[in-house]
Amino acid sequence: MAAFLLRRLLRALVTLWAVLTLVFLLIHATGNPIAVLAPQQMTLAERARLAAALGLNQPLSEQYLRFLAGVLHGNLGISYYSGMPAMPLLLARVPVTLELVALSLAIAVAIGLPLGVAAAVWPASLADRMVRGLSVLGASVPTFFLGILLIFFFSVEFNLLPASGGGGLVHFIMPAVTLALFRIAFFTRLVRSALLETLSMPYVRTARAKGLAERMVVLKHALRPASLPLVTVFGLQFGQLFAGTVITETIFALPGMNRMALQALYRLDYPVILSYILVAAAMFIAINLMMDILYGLIDPRVRRAA
């Protein structure tokens, strides 16, 4: 198990390095931050001085090495826009995003899991058909439009919830629901199909033959192995959401890290963009590792194989 994890970690680090290098090259090949940063009336000499101050006049290889050294120290330079160290600036926004992601996934699982079980236990019932219909609809409403609809109904028409800003939990309700809707549908489908498969397994038949109550059979014997894909998808979704809440954070004006990254993109604020990529990729890798460990905890076969 330890050797397996070490190998995974090594591969993850290589991926991380490749992503960072790619992004570094991409943004240096396509954009010139001085053109964005410098006010129109700035003279050429002043522009040169600005470039020198930001280290943008050095050869690319030099900048790259400095960048890699910075990554190792967690120091990616000073934000061009705000003049503060980029990494702490970004890290300060991480909790908001984490809270949003955790809350929306909690909602999605809390609703999706029981719905999926119901749809699998009573196939072709009303619950099953409703779930199928809802899951297609849920997958077809773009996040930003759902957010707009929620704002219209709950903030404009009925004035129940705040439309924007970060603060107490109230500010997270609508954004979390917005993100959760599609995932409810997704989890429901997943649980349904996984449970249908395990319910047809011989050991489930054995459990039934032993005379176990149907509730025990479903919840203890069938659901446990069926939850394996759920863990995978949960992890994947967590990673995806962590870097995928740009639109939601923007619509609801939540001060999360994705909105900051988007603003940094508009301003070509390289240090902030690179910090963001580093944090997002590191998160991705951490989640993948955690999932590998979780597998072993849930399914004894995985543990023995490793």
Q: Which of 8, 15, 34, 94 is in the footprint of another protein by CB under 8 A?
A: 15
Contact track, another protein, 264-293, x by CB under 8 A: -xx-x----x------xx--x---------
Q: How many residues bind another protein (CB under 8 A)?
A: 39
Residues 6+ apart with CB under 8 A from 243: 258, 280, 283, 284
What separation, in Å, do the N-terminal and C-terminal C-alpha atoms of the chain show? 5
Residues belonging to the chain: 306
Q: How far apart are CA 198 and CA 218, in angstroms?
A: 9
* Cβ 149 to another protein shortest distance, Å: 7
Least distance in Å: CB of 26 to another protein?
7
**What token pair was written down for 277?**
């990529």
Looking only at residues 211 through 270 of this chain, which bind another protein when binding is defined by CB under 8 A?
240, 243-244, 246-247, 250, 262, 265-266, 268
Cβ-contact 259, 267 below 8 angstroms: no
Alpha helices for the chain (secondary structure H): 2-30, 33-37, 44-53, 60-73, 86-91, 94-121, 126-140, 143-150, 170-199, 202-209, 214-216, 223-242, 246-251, 257-267, 270-298, 300-305
Which of residues 130 and 212 has its CB atom nearest to another protein in the complex?
Answer: 130
| Residue 179 touching another protein (CB under 8 A) | no
For the segment 130-159, give every residue that binds another protein (CB under 8 A).
136-137, 139-145, 148-149, 151-152, 155-156
Instruction: Dig out the tokens for 256 from the structure.
Output: 């999360």
Which residue from 2, 3, 30, 159 is in contact with another protein, where contact means CB under 8 A?
30
**Positions that interact with another protein (CB under 8 A):** 15, 18-19, 22-23, 26-27, 30-31, 136-137, 139-145, 148-149, 151-152, 155-156, 163, 240, 243-244, 246-247, 250, 262, 265-266, 268, 273, 280-281, 284
